[in-house]
Amino acid sequence: MSEKIRVEVMQDLEVLIPRYLERRHKEIEQFRAHLGAGDFESLRIGGHSLKGSGGGYGFAPLTKIGGTIEIAAKVKDTAAIEAALAEYADYIQRVEVVYV
């Protein structure tokens, strides 16, 4: 089993984080469906949104992953999107939140 990724998040976000992470799990599947359908515009928009929200909630790697998806969608780089989605899924599965 892969090691957990420990992320410290401000205590005042504790009520928001579980739902935020639940949405990310669902979003991965939506992104995969968009990719399968060749819907690069939805991937671009979704990547941009992820890029904007990740850091705000304390998950800086999601900002990077979202940016990668956004840029790759603009040029229809399927391989880069697939790699970013694999990284996204791995991160979400391994992340462990600690409130400080």
Could you give the number of structural domains in the chain? 1
Query: pTM of this prediction?
Result: 0.94
Neighbour tally for 65: CB within 10 Å: 25
pLDDT mean values, one per 10 residues, the chain (100 residues): 90 94 97 98 98 93 98 98 98 96
Range of the domain at 23: 5-99
Query: Can you give the CATH number for the domain in which 43 is found?
Result: 1.20.120
